[in-house]
Each structure stands twice: as C-alpha cells, then as structure tokens.
C-alpha cells in the first residue's frame, strides 16, 4: 500500500472513531436526560382527596413558559413552604407531604417544573432553576415576605431550592434526600465515565456554602439511589446554622417509614425559627 493509500486508510479509521465517539456521546446525553428527569403528565391525585382546600394556579417563568402549581392555604399559618419536588412524577404524587406540612401549620405552594404535569416546555437544569425562581416570585406577588418562606426540596428538588436560596432571601431550608452535585453522583453511578461528558451540574454543595439561613438536611442511611455519603458531604459544605437528621427507609419510602422522626424534627426546627 502506497503512502496515499495508508493516509486514506488512517483517515477512514479516524472518521470511524469520530462517528463512534459522537454516537456514544449522544447516547450518554440521552441517558443523562432519562436519568435526571422522569416527568409524567397525568395528575393522579389532588389535595381535596386529603381534605385540603387548594387553589390551582398558573404563572410564567421569565422565558414565558407557562407553569402550574397548587397553593394550599392554612389559616393562621406561621410559614409558607415553597415545595420543589423530585425528578419523577409530578405534583399530584406529593399529596401526603402537602398534608404533612399543612398539619404543621404551614401554607404550602408546590409547582410543576416545565415538562411536568400540565406545565409547558421541556425540563433542563437551567429551566428548573428558572421555574423555581418564578414560583418564588409568585409567592412574593401574593404578599408573602421572604422571612415567612421555608424552602423545601426533595432529592433533585433540593438542588433547585438551594439555587433559589443562593439568589433570594428565605427564612430557612429543608433538604430531603439531596445529593451534593451531579459530578459526585456520576462517580457513584457511572464510575468509568468522566463527569464532564454530562451537561448538567446541579452543584448544590458549592452553592450551599454561602447560604447562611438555618438548614435541616435529612437523609436515609438506606437510600439506594442517592448515597448517604453525598448528603453528608452536602452538610459538611453547608454554612451554619445547620442540623442533620438521619432516617431509615428507601429513597422514595423513607418519609413514610420514618414519619415520626420527620414530624418531630421538622416541627422542632420550625418552632426554633420563631425564637
């Protein structure tokens, strides 16, 4: 084979490798979206099934995407909980938690990110941040002051509410089953894939360093999805004042399996905020 033939063969190998790498990259980005976001459209349950009065409200993110949420009022409420849910389902799958916070004497505002429930659009990291900021703005438009807002985030929602708190005032934060960053999760789930392959960051640990409001971080020792160690890392990186609550049960069941611990410790946390 002459020089030109060898050069052509090398070029074909190079191009083939490029195509393979591009296909792998595209596949990993697809897996990333499927791993991070599991939205469902149908709303299966409603607050009225838990004897909760509620307002079905619509509002818009800064980029014009129309979002949907439920505002559950509580007469004489001490605080309003801004509820950022996890990566799967939609607001209709959190009715038990809405009832829980309502029972602790709080208004609750839960909303669906873009692409979830009846909210428009498609989910993305920046999109979720934008949606949560819009939800915060909605509460402010109702005349609810920041010192009366408690940010609550479950799992991926913890990363979202931390982003809100890094840019806006809140009275306190409750982070439930939340990870420290996508980089850390990648090392756990895909240890042989460099984290920079994925577009999302959700660098919660870095943002929480500068948030000085009281924080309650909750995580199960038995969490099979988000490693307990990542929540401990998040706690270690967080600025004081802060508390850590260990619970038991699976990632999606620990609230029910450890409900007594949740109720006592969150009630005490809210009570201490008033002192």
User: How far is Cα 235 from Cα 217, in angstroms, rounded to an integer?
Assistant: 7
Annotated active-site residue in 124, 130, 155, 220? 155
**DSSP-assigned beta bridge partners for residue 84:** 153
Q: Which helix (H) or strand (E) holds 151?
A: strand 149-154
Does residue 179 contact residue 187 with C-beta atoms inside 8 Å?
Answer: no
Residue 206 bears catalytic tag = no
Annotated active-site residue in 99, 166, 206, 251? 251
Annotated active-site residue in 163, 176, 184, 223? 223
Sheet with 55-60, edge to edge strand ranges: 55-60, 66-72, 106-112, 79-84, 149-154, 172-176, 215-220, 242-247
146 half-sphere exposure, CB direction, 13 A CA radius: 9
Q: Which two tokens stand for residue 230?
A: 């990542």
Does residue 198 contact residue 32 with C-beta atoms inside 8 Å?
Answer: yes
Residue 155 bears catalytic tag = yes
Residue 223 bears catalytic tag = yes
Q: Is 162 exposed, middle or buried (0-12, 13-18, 19+ CB in 10 A)?
A: buried
Work out whether the CA dihedral 69, 70, 76, 82 comes out positive or negative.
negative
Does residue 113 contact residue 68 with C-beta atoms inside 8 Å?
Answer: no
User: How far is Cα 225 from Cα 227, in angstroms, rounded to an integer?
Assistant: 6
Q: Please give the full DSSP string across 74-98, using - where no structure is assigned.
A: -TT-SEEEEEE--SEE-GGGGHHHH
Active site residues: 155, 223, 251
């Amino acid at each position: 084979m002459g020089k030109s033939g060898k050069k052509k063969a090398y070029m074909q190998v190079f191009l083939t490798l490029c195509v393979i790498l591009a296909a792998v990259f595209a596949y990993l980005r697809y897996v990333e979206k499927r791993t991070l976001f599991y939205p469902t459209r149908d709303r299966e349950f409603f607050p009225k099934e838990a004897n909760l009065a509620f307002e079905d409200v619509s509002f818009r993110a800064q980029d014009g995407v129309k979002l949907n949420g439920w505002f559950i009022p509580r007469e004489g409420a001490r605080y309003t909980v801004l509820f950022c849910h996890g990566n799967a389902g939609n607001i209709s799958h959190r009715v038990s938690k809405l009832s829980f916070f309502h029972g602790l004497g709080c208004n609750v505002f839960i909303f669906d990110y873009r692409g979830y429930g009846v909210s428009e659009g498609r989910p993305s990291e920046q999109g979720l941040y934008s949606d949560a900021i819009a939800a915060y703005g909605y509460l402010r438009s109702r005349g609810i002051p920041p010192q009366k807002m408690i940010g609550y985030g479950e799992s991926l929602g913890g990363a979202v509410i931390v982003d809100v708190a890094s840019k806006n005032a809140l009275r306190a934060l409750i982070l439930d089953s939340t990870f420290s960053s996508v980089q850390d999760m990648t090392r756990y789930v895909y240890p042989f894939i460099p984290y920079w392959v994925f577009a999302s960051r959700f660098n919660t640990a870095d943002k929480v360093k500068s948030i000085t409001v009281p924080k309650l971080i909750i995580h199960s020792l038995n969490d099979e999805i988000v490693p307990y160690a990542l929540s401990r890392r998040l706690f270690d990186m967080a600025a004081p004042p802060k508390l850590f609550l260990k619970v038991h049960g699976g990632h999606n069941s620990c609230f029910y399996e450890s409900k007594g611990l949740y109720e006592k410790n969150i009630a005490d946390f809210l009570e201490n905020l008033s002192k």
